[in-house]
Amino acid sequence: MNLIYNSEQYSVVEFGAERELEVLRFGGYEIVDKGGKRETFIAGELARTFRRDVTELIAGEPTMAEIDEFLGSYDAIMSQPVLLH
């Protein structure tokens, strides 16, 4: 587990790949919307897509606001309330 991004609005934790667990075969990401007090965990093909998109995003040296805007595109799937974090 590795905290890869942290702003006032979002945090992202990366979980390494684990071949023994199908859900983590490609690793996974927990994305937390701090203001909305909700989160989502993505794994599998969605995690691979997320990783690719993040790699492309950071190649352009984005601002924190641009990264937060990108993470905001995942707001629709953030359905888990954050109880303890």
- The region that residue 25 occupies, defined by phi over 0 for left and psi between -120 and 50 for alpha, beta otherwise, is alpha
Q: What does the DSSP 8-state code read for residue 8?
A: S
- The separation between CA 66 and the C-alpha centre of its own chain, rounded to angstroms, equals 14
- Domain range summary for the chain, segments of one domain joined by +: 2-81
pLDDT at residue number 16:
78
From start to end of 34-76, where are the E strands? 38-43
Task: Report whether pLDDT(27) > 90.
Answer: no
The share of the chain scoring above pLDDT 90, in percent, equals: 66
Task: Report whether pLDDT(53) > 60.
Answer: yes
Q: What pTM value is reported for the model?
A: 0.85
Task: Report whether pLDDT(67) > 60.
Answer: yes
Task: Report whether pLDDT(25) > 90.
Answer: no
Q: How far apart are CA 78 and CA 67, in angstroms?
A: 17
